A = this chain, B = another copy of it.
Amino acid sequence: MPENIGFIGLGVMGKPMAGHLIKAGHHLTVHNRSRGAVDELVASGAVAATSPAEVARASSLVITMLPDTPDVERVLTGADGVLAGLQKGTIVIDMSSISPVVTERLAMLVADHGGSMLDAPVSGGEIGAINAQLSIMVGGDEAAFHRAKPILDAMGNPEKVIHIGRSGAGQICKVCNQIAIGGALAGVSEAFALAKKAGVDAARVRQALLGGFAASRVLEVHGERMLVDNYKPGFRARLYQKDMRLANEAAAANGVSMPANAVVAQLLNALIASGGGDLDYAALGTVLLKMANG
């Protein structure tokens, strides 16, 4: 059944995601700070709105896909924000990766305005967005999740659109994802640094490790990047730095200590400090080699 969907934030991820919704037959009202992506989507059948409030007035589901926490706060609660135009019963689906703590607060505000909010951050990157193969981790009310599921399925792999729990649980899950990846990435980086400095063929080490308990997607994909020293992104180090900030914030807010993640965050800071912010985050391993070479 075609729905009236609002989409705010048409960046590298948001634009293809919105495109899939149009292809699926929905009526889209879109808004974006810069005009180019809006024009492209209008050419495909979307309607342009001049503010988030105008998007909300035209929609029964409003999707946001924005860079960081303050962007989502502004778009939702600003003067001409989504809340200013929110229709009763509207579901706000924030697909950005932002603070779990702020997410819970925003969800309460949306509820105060008669709507319901889902946090639905994604993983899978630009490629996943283009191929509608994203993993989507959803927090919020179960009824809202079921209502939104077919819409989310159009942008992701339906088997990987998962209801994690209460409001904020999707963002917690996304943070957990980045934390787990960080540990694996540090482990592979250190293993390869040792192999290289010991004069042992890292390609054979990777092959041997993939056959056993050390096997991981990180070893497979980022391990390959490290072997050929190709750090064309992929996922930029400076975006991962944002995720590490969210991880540390979540740890502090929930009373957890994450010492390995702290090391990952510091190695990442070193990578970015030395000019690597626009490299793929697999370049983390180069920091160890830099540290070790005189």
Contact of A160 (CB < 8 Å), options: B186, B199, B212, B254: B212
- Dominant SS at the A interface? helix
Please encode chain A, from 105 to 127, with 1 for each CB lying within 8 Å of some chain B CB and 0 for all others: 00000000000000000011000
Cβ–Cβ < 8 Å partners of A187 in chain B: 179-184, 186-187, 260-261
Q: Return chain B residues, CB-CB under 8 Å to A181.
A: 187, 213-214
A residues touching B (Cβ–Cβ < 8 Å)?
100, 123-124, 135, 137, 157, 159-160, 162-166, 168-169, 172-173, 175-177, 179-195, 197-201, 204-205, 207-209, 211-219, 221, 247, 250-251, 254-264, 266-267, 288, 291-292
A255 to chain B, nearest CB (A): 5
Chain B residues whose C-beta falls within 8 Å of the C-beta of A124 in the assembled complex? 212-213
**A204-B258 contact given A179-B190, A184-B214, CB 8 Å threshold:** no
- Cα-based distance from A183 to B214 in the complex (angstroms): 10
The count of identical subunits is 2
Residue of B nearest to A192 (CB): B176
B257 touching A291, Cβ below 8 Å = yes
A194→B258 contact, CB < 8 A: yes
User: Which residues of B have CB within 8 Å of A179?
Assistant: 187, 190-191, 194
A200 to chain B: closest CB distance in Å?
A: 5
Is A172 within 8 A of B198, CB to CB? yes
Q: How far is the CB of A183 from chain B (nearest CB, A)?
A: 2
A191 and B179 CA atoms in complex are apart in Å by 6
How far, in whole Å, are A281 and B228 apart by their CA atoms in the complex?
Answer: 33
Residues of B within 8 A of A251 (CB): 194
A267 to B259, CA, bound (A): 9
Q: Which residues of B contact A169 (CB under 8 A)?
A: 198, 200-201
